Structure 1
Amino acid sequence: MQIRKGTEADIPAIVELLKSSLGEGLIQKSERLWNWKHVENPHGASPVLVAEADGKVVGVRAFLRWQWVYKGQVLQAIRAVDTATHPDYQGKGIFKKLTLQGLADAKEDGIHLVYNTPNESSKPGYLKMGWVEMSRMALKLKINPFAYKRQAVPQAPSQDWRALATLLPKLANPIATTDQVQTFLSPAYLQWRYQDNPLFDYHFLSDYKSYVLFYRIKSHSFGQEMRVLDLLTDSKVFDKKAKSALAASFKQISNACFLTSASGRHFELASCVYSGMGLLPVMDKGPIVTLRNVSLQEDLFNKLSRQQNWGYTLGDMELF
């Protein structure tokens, strides 16, 4: 068996391996999705490793590139995401071999850290390979009992992505000046992340002057969820009138949903720009977050291992 870097020619075989190993599930596997996610990402193309045996791809490990900013320093990160082993080759240590080789390659490529959100079954394996558990993601939730089991999807306002594109360069994360880890934002990233995303239908609320709130509607058995993913403003013109307009648009969508969710960390740090998120306290009820140091100084990595130093949004952390 050979461990090597994946190439463009491997993509069809990789997609078939993902299908045979993982099934379609909630996220359908396709070459279009793979290319959008791992090739077209503005943060950079994903490092991909494959295990090859008997002339075919029997294992794959992809690491999604991501750029975080902390106290003015751009942190080059990778997120451990798409992984699969052919059913006939499971139990041969392929996952571990691919992961350890990925870490070695990451150090050579100047990557600072790895992060991911494992489940309870996979977490022990990561911890054995040097990952550390940060905590569960902090969430801010609002419950609307009057929309329980309501299946009607709230209608989004008119979506003029072209007009929004002219606004995006003027906007910033409202916590941009704080010393919190946050995604390195750019108009290209926002277009890739929300407008061009082939997986889900993302929507936004905007006055096309001073703010944009990206969200998506997720259906559950209990009703609809409004998931607040990113909120950006132009602090120079995001005044009382603009905030009132955002609150009114937000209320219209949120009130049609049983659940509204947002990042607890971002809400705590930028609560002044959030409207109508209810009285429930921020709770550490999200997925488990784990980190692996690659090339950071130990004291800096220790700081990053504490959730209070992060200002992530759900858009940063959503698995796709």
Structure 2
Amino acid sequence: MIVKQASINDIPNIVELLKLSLGESVVGKSSTIWNFKHADNPFGSSHVLVATDDEKFVGVRALMKWNWQLGNDVWVAYRAVDTATHPDFQGKGVFKKLTLKALDDVQENQETFVFNTPNDKSRPGYLKMGWVVVDSLPIAIVPTILYIFLSFLRKKMLYSNQIQNEKLDELCKVHNNDLSEKKSIFTPKSATYLKWRFEENPMQKYKVVSTNDSYVAMYIKKRRFFKELRVVEVISSNESIHKKVIQNAIIDYAIQNRCWITTLSNKDLFPFRFFGKFGPKLTFKSLTKDTLFINKALDINNWKYSLGDLELF
């Protein structure tokens, strides 16, 4: 078996291997989606390894670049995402070999870390390779139906989906500076990032509403017996001042689409909500000797994340 770094010419074979190993899901597997995730990412191209046996593609492992910031220090990190093993080679250590090699590669010239939110089936494999569970993600669950009775009292708000990039970058700068001063671990936002992550995402249709002082991205998730509105990004120049505008944008869209439950990472945005560790488990693999950062990262309360930062896509 030969392990090598993937090239652009390998993408069709990678996509076919993903389909063969994982099957088709709600979101199809294609070169367009692969390039969106691993080539067009504003944080940089992913580190992708493939394994071949007699010229047949038998394994793939992708580490997607992702930036996190603490204070003024920006960490180039990696999120462990797409991985697949050919059915004929499962149970033969392909996943482990590719993952450990990828870790060695990204650690070689930098101090970094790897994170992800694996499901219960794949998490044990990561733990055996040195990942640790930080904690389950705290999430706010808002019973949107309670707000229907108050909706007629609210003044209708005007939003724009066409906020100019210059204004949006200014808004992101204020947002980033605020989190930097709070010494939280957060993903620094920019107009380029938001456009890539939410506005031009071929995998999921997001609803974006914005003003010059706030930006909200969300989507509808269909459950078995109800629809959930998942709020994946909230950016504001001053949340205490603009809270009502943000609340109204979310509630208006939830009511329009009959989403009786709304979920988001912000526990303070809605007064009537349940807040607890309802989300997936965040796992962390340190590739740095910076013990101060490691200790900070191992406490979930130090992460100021949006659901868009950590949800699978």
Same fold (TM over 0.5): yes
Pick the aligned partner of 1:279 from 255, 266, 273: 273
Code of the aligned partner of 2:71: K
Q: 1:312 to 1:243 in 2, by over 3 A?
A: closer
Q: 1:125 to 1:244 in 2, by over 3 A?
A: closer
* 1:151 corresponding residue in structure 2: none
* 1:181 corresponding residue in structure 2: 185
Q: 1:19 to 1:109 in 2, by over 3 A?
A: farther
Q: What is the correspondence of 1:120-199 to structure 2 with a 5 Å cutoff?
A: 120-144=120-144, 161-172=161-172, 173=175, 175-199=179-203
Q: 1:142 to 1:195 in 2, by over 3 A?
A: same
Pick the aligned partner of 1:210 from 209, 213, 223: 213
Structure 1 residue 56 displacement after superposition: 1.9
User: 1-side partners of 2:21 and 2:181: how far apart?
Assistant: 44
Structure 1 unaligned regions, length at least 5 = 148-156
- For the aligned residue pairs, the C-alpha RMSD in angstroms reads 2.1
* 1:150 corresponding residue in structure 2: none
SS of aligned partner of 1:171:
helix
Q: Is residue 232–residue 307 contact of structure 2 (8 Å, CA) maintained in 1? A: yes
Q: Is residue 220–residue 229 contact of structure 2 (8 Å, CA) maintained in 1? A: yes
* 2:260 corresponding residue in structure 1: 258
What are the Cα deviations for residues 291-310 of structure 1, in whole angstroms up to 9, with x where unaligned?
Answer: 00112423421221110111
SS of aligned partner of 1:175:
helix
Once the two structures are overlaid, the 10-residue window that deviates more, 222-231 or 167-176, is 167-176
* 2:297 corresponding residue in structure 1: 304
Q: State the identity %.
A: 38
Once the two structures are overlaid, the 10-residue window that deviates more, 211-220 or 29-38, is 211-220
* 2:98 corresponding residue in structure 1: 98
Code of the aligned partner of 2:284: L
SS of aligned partner of 1:45:
coil
SS of aligned partner of 2:192:
helix
Pairs aligned (count): 298
Code of the aligned partner of 1:167: K
Code of the aligned partner of 2:226: G
* 2:152 corresponding residue in structure 1: none
Once the two structures are overlaid, the 10-residue window that deviates more, 173-182 or 226-235, is 173-182
Structure 1 residue 28 displacement after superposition: 1.1
Q: 1:248 to 1:204 in 2, by over 3 A?
A: same
Code of the aligned partner of 2:298: S
Q: Is residue 43–residue 67 contact of structure 1 (8 Å, CA) maintained in 2? A: yes
Q: 1:161 to 1:127 in 2, by over 3 A?
A: same
Structure 2 unaligned regions, length at least 5 = 148-156
- Structure 1 stretches of 4+ moved >6 Å: none
Structure 1 residue 32 displacement after superposition: 0.2
